[in-house]
Structure 1
């Protein structure tokens, strides 16, 4: 798809310095962009690449426009504007409404005529599929599942019974929603399974990355609020609640009944233990272990960053000596008194 610089600037509420009639048909990085391609400068680390770019147009801030040798579109936030531009230049492919002949659909399911049901999809009794929904091959839609308007499921997504998915959601391949929570009671050394009778409720505009697992509630529901973004390979346990517009990076895990507030940012491979409360506007850096509730907004970290093995061994050895050091200091303080 091609669009003029003028049309693009209008969509982005930007101001043009240069050729407004130039055509843009694709995007590229600042150092590789060619005529006809759009690029952007969001990080001053790449400022030196701006002077040599041959792009058709560059999204820049006002302060960087003078150094741009090609057409500039001046915007407040180049990265955000780039995200909007990509959506215009690369519109999502959508299948026309219909049911593939190799799909299996229970006669009691309700499917909007504009929805697409791909090959080898199974839709069980009582399911409701909304307007414009796209369900790719191999998905399983369980009993009484409800999928909202314009939501898309990529191949091989499994939604267990009673799951509710909101509008305009995007679920990537391998996602499993509504599987049993990890609930067992110990009876004389043997584990007795606890029936998980809650649901999973997913709000609007939620994106769930490939191979995420979100467990059903043990009694109440597991809830993912509007605008939440989950990266690939994330585990969300039973009865967790994730607040609106929180983003969680890959390989993180949230144990049962923890509550994460709104507008939080959680880095990769973070572990959050069960029954905690994390307030709104918290950032947790990668590889952190959250073992207690967080009641104040801010940035939180734990763990040691990588370093040479010899230095790391020395540091860990010193940590092991802290108890002895503390005892010696205490003894010296007593003598001083």
Structure 2
């Protein structure tokens, strides 16, 4: 497949410096790109790669446009990384024939479920009674949508996603556990993307809610009655325990855990592998990763860490007493 630079700029905007008839055959990193490829530079630290690139065209910010080798075409854009993201979408659209809406013959859809005529339900999917699938939504292979769960418009659910399994609810009864039936559902907004084998549990009484624009990576667990705010993104293996509320425009790094019933404000960024043990009321970047060590040393250091505040006060007192 080939796309001309003229076609790309007409579709995505930007300012072209170079031959509009140049045909691009693929996308590639700066260091390996050849004359038939288009690449991008978003981080000024990699200017050396721009100077040495063999790419036919590079997407650059205005401040870097004079650093490219002679003969390399440029698309000048304010945000090269965002432009590149949109270019990948354009490339995929042109590379593959548009997915035909409909229900794959191997899918199982309950007669009471509502699947929009423009949605696609892929191989071996299951859509249970009362569920609703919105316009333009794509369920890839082996997705399960539980009873009464709602998925909005233009969502993408990757292979193995489970929406609406029972939340983890049990009442102790002596030495045994009594199941608490999960009577809520899951409501997913528009433009949500959910990675492979991610699970979102149905609510116990009220619904679990994933708002518009949320992006979830693979192997994420969202517990019952969680609410995730608009345009929040979570990396792989995040776990959010039941009844936690995550604000809008948050990011949560891979392997992080948010404990149940906590509230996270809008605009919070949580580092990978952090365990969030208390609510966060202010936007900002939060990290809670304790360095790896052998267990005995770790326990000693952890015990000392709890005393740091007291030790600091004692040191300040000693400094004052010994001041000349």
Question: What is the TM-score with the length of structure 2 in the denominator?
Answer: 0.90
CA 1:73–1:331: 2 relative to 1, 3 Å: closer
Mapping for residues 277-296 of structure 1, pairs under 5 Å: 277-296=263-282
> Is it true that 1:22 corresponds to 2:17 in the alignment?
no
**Counterpart for residue 10 of structure 2:** 10
Q: Tell me by how many angstroms 1:322 deviates.
A: 5.4
> Is it true that 1:320 corresponds to 2:303 in the alignment?
yes
Q: Are the equivalent residues in 2 in contact too, given 1:12–1:75 (CA < 8 A)?
A: no
CA 1:333–1:65: 2 relative to 1, 3 Å: closer
Q: Are the equivalent residues in 2 in contact too, given 1:166–1:204 (CA < 8 A)?
A: yes
Q: Which runs of 5+ in 2 are unaligned?
A: none
Q: Are the equivalent residues in 1 in contact too, given 2:60–2:77 (CA < 8 A)?
A: yes
**Counterpart for residue 84 of structure 1:** 86
> Is it true that 1:256 corresponds to 2:242 in the alignment?
yes
Q: In structure 2, how many angstroms separate the alpha carbons of the residues matched to 1:41 and 1:304?
A: 34
Q: In structure 2, how many angstroms separate the alpha carbons of the residues matched to 1:142 and 1:268?
A: 31
Q: Tell me by how many angstroms 1:159 deviates.
A: 0.8
Question: What is the TM-score with the length of structure 1 in the denominator?
Answer: 0.87
**Counterpart for residue 48 of structure 2:** 48
Match of 2:228 among 218, 242, 249: 242
Q: Tell me by how many angstroms 1:302 deviates.
A: 0.2
CA 1:94–1:116: 2 relative to 1, 3 Å: farther
Q: Tell me by how many angstroms 1:324 deviates.
A: 7.6
Q: Tell me by how many angstroms 1:13 deviates.
A: 2.2
Mapping for residues 90-129 of structure 1, pairs under 5 Å: 90-91=92-93, 93-96=97-100, 115-129=101-115
Q: Tell me by how many angstroms 1:162 deviates.
A: 0.6
CA 1:152–1:328: 2 relative to 1, 3 Å: closer
- SS of structure 1 residue aligned to 2:52: coil
Alpha-carbon RMSD across the aligned residues, in angstroms, is 2.4
Q: Tell me by how many angstroms 1:18 deviates.
A: 1.9
- Which string of whole-angstrom CA distances, capped at 9 and with x for unpartnered residues, describes residues 316-337 of structure 1? 5344345688589869979x8x
- SS of structure 2 residue aligned to 1:90: helix
Q: Are the equivalent residues in 2 in contact too, given 1:2–1:89 (CA < 8 A)?
A: no
The runs of 4+ residues in structure 1 deviating greater than 6 Å are 327-334
Number of positions where the alignment pairs a residue of Structure 1 with one of Structure 2: 314
